[in-house]
Amino acid sequence: MNRIFLLALICVLLIVGCEPATPIATATVAPNPSQTPSPTRTHLPTRTPVASVTPLPSFTPTLMDTPQPTLIPHEWKPNPVLITYSQDSFGFCADICPPDSSPFILYGDGTLIIHGPYNPDNGEWHYLYKKLNQSEVCRILNTIDQTGFFDFDPSTYSTSGVTDSGNWRVEVYAWRNKDISLYGLGDEVNFLNQDPSLSPSDTIKPSSVRNTFTLLYNFPLTGLDVYIPKLLGVWIWKSSFGLPRTKTWTVDNISLAKLYKKAGSLVDALPRPIYLDGKDAENIYAMFDNSNYYGEVTQNGVGYGVYVRPVLPFEQISRDKSALVPDAKQIKLLPSLQCSPADGTMPIPPYGPK
């Protein structure tokens, strides 16, 4: 019996020794770091573009920052005023502030009038004008269309944080109309002109309103002539504080004393404007080098505070407010305007000192 039991035990041990070794689980072995994916490896959805793969397009005269539908021909009955912008409060002077008119007006007959710098170091500005042909008018309107301005949603507007400003109103009347009022818009564009280190896309959003307003605010003045007014506004008062400059009145046939007696104000109070036309308007405006004037003017040893500037077509002045009140009967308009893609677009003007 013992021999039989011993033989059986030897066979069992031989069978067990022939079984393969049980493998060790790999999960218990520390992996090589280079083979272990980082937790940030989660792939972006295939429909989400990566910035380094899809860069923003650069601006060109014909490709705006925001892609727009292709230009198509348009025909419409023109408004007496096609484009203008203005600021709620101008505040260009000290205590006596007669109103200024809109700095940019494109009339329905193609007349363009812009308030541009004459000698900005001395605070001198004047009005410039040009009679645009239909293609030139269309080029401006086509550009505004292609910026996306007509589809601009004011709720998307943001700035980098301008304060102590007012609202800037932009009006465009073409095959589509747009009338908006935005806080600090012109001030922010002016900051971009003064500081080239600022990023336009970080300063004003979206690009549609930024590019449209930059087109108007920085509109190229090449080819524009000095505007000689048919009607000149003169404000005159007695000033108790120092004005920025002094000039001698040289139009002898017009008396400053009589103008002051007619509509001048007491010390430091806003006067009523006096309107002069014809040769009187031309001669007085020429005396100030065909530029706006704000300062002291003396005649026969007596000084007055004086502001002189043109009164523009359709402009109505009430106290410290100026408004355009167009009347189609006062301007010769074509029955219709036609704009087409062939008229082209304009490049958005660069930023720089004005």
pTM of the predicted protein model: 0.79
Task: Provide the pLDDT for residue 242.
Answer: 81
What is the per-residue pLDDT across 7-61, written as a single tens digit (0 to 9) for each? 344 343 334 343 443 333 333 323 333 333 322 222 222 222 222 222 323 333 3
Residue boundaries of the structural domains of the chain:
74-226+333-343, 231-310
167-173, strands of its sheet edge to edge? 177-183, 167-173, 81-87, 104-107, 111-119, 124-131, 225-226
| pLDDT cut 90: percent of the chain above it | 65
Tokens found for residue 330: 């006062």
- Would you give the distance in Å from CA 296 to the centre of its chain? 33
Task: Provide the pLDDT for residue 93.
Answer: 66
Q: Given the structure tokens 């001669």, which residue do they identify? A: 283
pLDDT at 62 over 80: no
**What residues are paired with 111 via a beta bridge?**
131
Residue 272 burial (C-beta neighbours within 10 Å; 0-12, 13-18, 19+): middle
Least confident of 79-83, 90-94, 348-352: 90-94
Task: Provide the pLDDT for residue 204.
Answer: 97
What is the per-residue pLDDT across 293-316, written as a single tens digit (0 to 9) for each? 999 999 999 999 999 999 999 999
Architecture category of domain 74-226+333-343 in CATH: 2-Layer Sandwich (3.30)
